[in-house]
Amino acid sequence: MNRFWSLLFLCVPVLGMGAYLASYFDVWPMQSTWLPENVSVGGRTIDRLFNLIHLICAVIFVSTTTVLAVALWIYRSSNRQRASHVHSNTRLEIIWSIIPAGILIFLALYQYESWANDKIRRPMENGKPKPPTALIIAKQFGWEVYYPGLDGKLGTKDDIYVENELYVPENEDVVLQLESRDVIHSLFVPVLRIKQDIVPGMTHYCWFRAENADPNKNYEIACTELCGRGHYRMKGWLHIVPREQFDQVMLELGTARISTKLPTKE
């Protein structure tokens, strides 16, 4: 019976790691449970970091949980007369403090560059921050999307307004301006790996560069900050299209609908 317990604890690394490997290699019963399709340049970095951190964690996970199971196997009471009387070991304490500290600081510093690219260094154009491709105003429960129109400026008469449909050009830097009408929302596009909370009263910018996308596919946009009873159905659509098609769409939308709802801004 005593073996049963160490075997039960051995299930933790075996099944846990098994599930993770099956998920990573897309094997039954864990197929398509790893990261979804990625269509952005920044997303590639996120995926790489995600896999790297998981690799490091997997090594620590398997080794520590296996030690636990083995300890329960070897040192169960029926095996031994008396426990060893050891209080501590300074060398061991130093080793298992310094090595994890090194790994953790490496992991933290390794995020700096990608985080700066994702959230701090907004793409530039002609020496100035690139103007937004679209303004998204989140509200209970949908996304108002405004495009600058022909003059390239938001807040003017020729702005184009569409509900829940975000078109962006592929292979170029896209900047989105985010605002909220009522409560906090959060823009989440899993295929782009971006997420940004939208706080009422604040203006946020997020940016990405889409690549390798399927122009005929509609990607889903979700809200990931609880915003009320319709939170779960605050769905939007992202269309990643080549530049020519994007211009075409803007032209069509522009003639079809002229925005009237844009709030006036000083």
Partner 1 sequence: MVDEGHTVEIHHPPQRGGVLGFVTKYIFATDHKIIGIQFLFSTLIWFAIGGFLALAIRWQLAWPWSDMPIFGNWLFAAEGGQITPEFYSMLFTMHGTIMIFFVVIPVLAGAFGNFLIPLMIGADDMAFPKLNMLSYWFMWPAFILMTMSFFSPGYGPGAGWTAYPPLSVINDAIPGSGDAQSLWTLGLVFVGISSMLGSLNYMTTIIQMRAPGMTMFRMPMTVWALFITALLQAFALPVLTSALLMQLSDRELGTGFYLAEGLSANNATAVAGGGQPLLWQHLFWFYSHPAVYIMILPAMGFVSDILSCFSRKPLFGYRPMVFSICGIAGLGFIVWGHHMFISGMNPVLGLTFMVSTMLIALPSGVKVFNWLATLWGGKIQITSPLLFAAGFVAMFIIGGLSGIVMAATTVNQYVTETYFIVAHFHYVLFAGSVLGMFAGFYYWFPKMFGRMMNDTWGKVHFVMTFVFLNGTFFPMHFLGNRGFPRRYADPYQYEQFADLLPMNQFMTICAFGMAAAQLIFLINFFGCMFFGKRAEQNPWKANTLEWMADSPPPHGNFTTQPTIYRGPYEYSQPKRSDDYWPQFEP
Count of other CB atoms within 10 angstroms of residue 49: 15
Give, as ranges, the residues between 49 and 108 that touch partner 1 (CB under 8 A): 49-50, 53-54, 56-57, 60-61, 64-65, 67-68, 71-72, 75-77, 80-89, 92-93, 96-97, 100-101, 104-105, 107-108
Interface with partner 1: number of residues (CB under 8 A): 94
Shortest distance, position 74 Cβ to partner 1, whole Å: 8
Nearer to partner 1, 114 or 245 (CB): 114
Shortest distance, position 41 Cβ to partner 1, whole Å: 13
Look-up: residue for tokens 């300890």? Answer: 71
Shortest distance, position 69 Cβ to partner 1, whole Å: 8
Binding mask 195-224 for partner 1 (x = CB under 8 A): xxxxxxxx-x---------------x-xxx
Give, as ranges, the residues between 23 and 42 that touch partner 1 (CB under 8 A): 23, 30, 32-36
Report d(CA 227, CA 230) in Å as an integer: 7
Q: Which of 41, 171, 211, 235 binds partner 1 (CB under 8 A)?
A: 235
Nearer to partner 1, 105 or 150 (CB): 105
State the virtual CA torsion across 47, 57, 33, 197 in degrees, nearest 10: -60
E strand or H helix at 5, and its extent?
helix 2-24
Q: Is residue 162 close enough to count as binding partner 1 by CB under 8 A? A: no
Q: Which of 18, 129, 152, 230 binds partner 1 (CB under 8 A)?
A: 230
Q: Which of 115, 155, 165, 239 binds partner 1 (CB under 8 A)?
A: 115
Nearer to partner 1, 87 or 128 (CB): 87
Report d(CA 211, CA 168) in Å as an integer: 11
Report d(CA 21, CA 19) in Å as an integer: 6
Instruction: Tally the residues of the chain.
Output: 266
Nearer to partner 1, 85 or 128 (CB): 85
Q: Is residue 228 close enough to count as binding partner 1 by CB under 8 A? A: yes
Q: Give 109-115 contacts, CB < 8 A, sequence gap 24+.
A: 110/49, 110/52, 111/49, 114/42, 114/45, 114/46, 114/49
Q: Is residue 251 close enough to count as binding partner 1 by CB under 8 A? A: no
Report d(CA 34, CA 25) in Å as an integer: 9
Report d(CA 85, CA 141) in Å as an integer: 64
Buried b (16+ CB within 10 A) or exposed e, 148-179: bbeeeebeeeebbbbeeebbbbbeebbbbbbb
Nearer to partner 1, 136 or 160 (CB): 136
